Amino acid sequence: MNAERTMHSDHPRLYGADYSVYVRIVRMALFEKGVAYDLLPVDIFAATSTRDAHLARHPFGKIPAFEHGDFHLYETGAITRYVDEAFDGPPLQPADVKSRARMNQIISIADGYIYPHLVWGLYVECIEKPKRGEVADEGRVEKARGIARISLDVLTGLLAEQRWMCGDRLTLADLYLAPMIDYALEVPEFCEMFAEYRKLGDWWQRMTALDSFRETQPTP
């Protein structure tokens, strides 16, 4: 889908950058729903003027922010649930109450533990910082190693014999985990750890085969 490349005033607008885990989650949800949208670039780590202008859309200074007509929204959890409910296309949330609770639990695990530790504690510390000539914070990496192990054990248990995290259909739980794990897998140590988990490996193969995953890869 290349709809984001040309500005269409009636399309939903997504503000952010393709390197962002959270922007990618929303883009994957939009892709899975078949919703054309405009991606408007905001590099939140760039000059302060960009960030300052963005504060009107997101007072906490994060990406993504989303607009559909005159409806403005921020926070990925709210945006993805809105996208799922406001547009046609395959449902991205289970109808069954318990499966939906499980999906929300996995999203919370992703937000609370996987993003800060696997993306920031492992990927940023071990890959990004050395690239910038900075030294990794070994205390932070050590903590992240422990959380990585717990995360993989927990996700293996939750996936069990299912095709996707919450059953036989792709849900927001899968879309949350994918961009985070994609960054963590750039860390050789995490890659080795991940290889010990065969069922998660099978899930990852299915995940990386999705067009929504392939078409939203960050620009190198």
Residue whose C-alpha is closest to residue 3's, from 33, 46, 25:
33
Q: Is 114 in the site for ligand GSH (CB under 6 A)?
A: no
In whole angstroms, the minimum distance from the beta carbon of 195 to ligand GSH comes to 26
Spatial distance between the Cα atoms of 186 and 124, rounded to a whole number of angstroms: 10
In whole angstroms, the minimum distance from the beta carbon of 134 to ligand GSH comes to 17
Q: Which is nearer to ligand GSH, 96 or 186 (CB)?
A: 186
Q: Which is nearer to ligand GSH, 82 or 197 (CB)?
A: 82
Q: Which helix (H) or strand (E) holds 130?
A: helix 129-131
Q: Which of residues 167-206 bind ligand GSH (CB under 6 A)?
A: none
In whole angstroms, the minimum distance from the beta carbon of 91 to ligand GSH comes to 21
Residue whose C-alpha is closest to residue 207's, from 78, 81, 83, 32:
32
Spatial distance between the Cα atoms of 19 and 127, rounded to a whole number of angstroms: 14
Q: Which of residues 118-157 bind ligand GSH (CB under 6 A)?
A: none
**Residue labelled with tokens 């054990």:** 153
Q: Which of residues 15-74 bind ligand GSH (CB under 6 A)?
A: 20-22, 44, 61-63
* Token pair for 95: 């109808």
In whole angstroms, the minimum distance from the beta carbon of 161 to ligand GSH comes to 30
**Residue labelled with tokens 């248990």:** 157
Residue 126 one-letter amino acid: C
In whole angstroms, the minimum distance from the beta carbon of 27 to ligand GSH comes to 12
Contacts to ligand GSH by CB under 6 A: 20-22, 44, 61-63, 75-77
